[in-house]
Amino acid sequence: MLDIKNIYKNFGDLKVLKGVSTHVEKGEVISLIGVSGSGKSTLLRCMNLLETPTFGEVWMEGKLLTPVDPYLHAEVIQASNTYKKLREEGLSDEEAVRKIKDEDLLHEKHGREGKEYTALIKKIYQENHLDANLARQKMGMVFQQFNLFNNLTVLGNITLAPVKIGMDRIRKAKRAGRPVTETKESVRAAAEKKAMDLLKRIGLEDKADSYPSSLSGGQKQRIAIIRALAMDPDVMLFDEPTSALDPEMVGEVLDLIKELVKSGMTMVVVTHEMGFAREVSDRVLFVDEGYIKEEGTPEEIFRHPKDAHLKDFLAKVL
């Protein structure tokens, strides 16, 4: 489903992620834990391209979401001028590739690695790339601060994206000359019906015409979750969904998330709620200082931690 390959993320001189790779299967629930500043939120945000990785690639269902990273493609490295030169100098294929990777010899000369190199990169990109906006329509994200649109009603919040994207669909089809089966009204009606169904599911249908400012934190977050669900995503990303909630409301939100787990949704959750992580995760990743220092089942991570930092961390939070 989701393939994270060797992600580096630098903010200026600050190196937040230093080579992170992982894989998320369909239906899996992954928890990311770690101290503040470890890079776990950044990692999550790289998955739906809210942050663009400095190096590395993100793949979703066989589609490339980031630019091509030459270091991840052997044939690209072999097509470069630097590689050819090293080979001429007498290094073997393996040595040359290793040297290039270790010493980061390619990036600086991106334009000067030769036509074959550039053409190959272009080819890989064009064959596999998926536009970020389209990708994000299949990935839902829930934020710590809810981020409901303050200028729209609850119903407006939930229907905004489906309606806009539906109208885009109509426009593109018309322009391409394809038959158009939807109308503006049908798109809107469908979106509103879906929104009301979702609201009923969480018992907040009477809030459809309210504005976010009149809701409690727990209500806002639950609406934020179904706002993301309205787009029928394949994977849901949660960035510390309960950290900003008053304790009495954490429960109702966690319950909703657990429901989602039961329904088989693929999820990546950054959280401080260790109980929750333990209960629902298939895998737990301990992110620390920009690396995944340890990963495993909840049982392994919480009961038998190996990494020293992980042990410290657990001692503090459990």
Closest to other proteins by CB, 24 or 225: 225
Least gap, CB of 40 to other proteins (angstroms): 17
C-alpha 45/C-alpha 39 separation (Å) is 10
* 30 DSSP β-pair partners: 268, 283
Residue 237 — φ and ψ, nearest 5°? -115, 130
**Pattern of binders to other proteins over 225-254, x per CB under 8 A?**
--xx--x-----------------------
Q: Is 151 in the site for other proteins (CB under 8 A)?
A: yes
Q: Is 147 in the site for other proteins (CB under 8 A)?
A: yes
Least gap, CB of 138 to other proteins (angstroms): 8
From candidates 35, 161, 190, 314, binder to other proteins by CB under 8 A: 161
**Encoding tokens for residue 318?**
């459990």
- On the 0-12 / 13-18 / 19+ scale of CB atoms within 10 A, 268 is buried
Sign of CA dihedral 259, 262, 266, 272: positive
**Encoding tokens for residue 147?**
């981020």
The DSSP symbol for 234 reads: S
- Which of the stretches 63-71, 83-91, 149-157, 185-193 binds other proteins when contact is defined by CB under 8 A? 149-157
Contact call for residues 223 and 148 (beta carbons, < 8 A): yes
C-alpha 243/C-alpha 232 separation (Å) is 25
- Which of the stretches 17-25, 64-72, 102-110, 161-169 binds other proteins when contact is defined by CB under 8 A? 161-169
C-alpha 231/C-alpha 251 separation (Å) is 25
From candidates 150, 181, 213, 263, binder to other proteins by CB under 8 A: 150
Contact call for residues 196 and 205 (beta carbons, < 8 A): yes
Contact call for residues 6 and 69 (beta carbons, < 8 A): yes
From candidates 3, 6, 101, 149, binder to other proteins by CB under 8 A: 149
- Which of the stretches 128-136, 186-194, 281-289, 293-301 binds other proteins when contact is defined by CB under 8 A? 128-136
From candidates 134, 180, 189, 317, binder to other proteins by CB under 8 A: 134
Site for other proteins in 165-194 (CB under 8 A): 165
Site for other proteins in 34-53 (CB under 8 A): 48, 50
From candidates 23, 109, 123, 164, binder to other proteins by CB under 8 A: 164
Least gap, CB of 240 to other proteins (angstroms): 13
Q: Is 196 in the site for other proteins (CB under 8 A)?
A: no
Residue whose token pair is 């993320």: 9
Residues that contact other proteins, how many (by CB under 8 A): 27
Contact call for residues 276 and 255 (beta carbons, < 8 A): no
Q: Which chain residues interact with other proteins by CB under 8 A?
A: 48, 50, 133-141, 143, 145, 147-152, 160-161, 164-165, 224, 227-228, 231
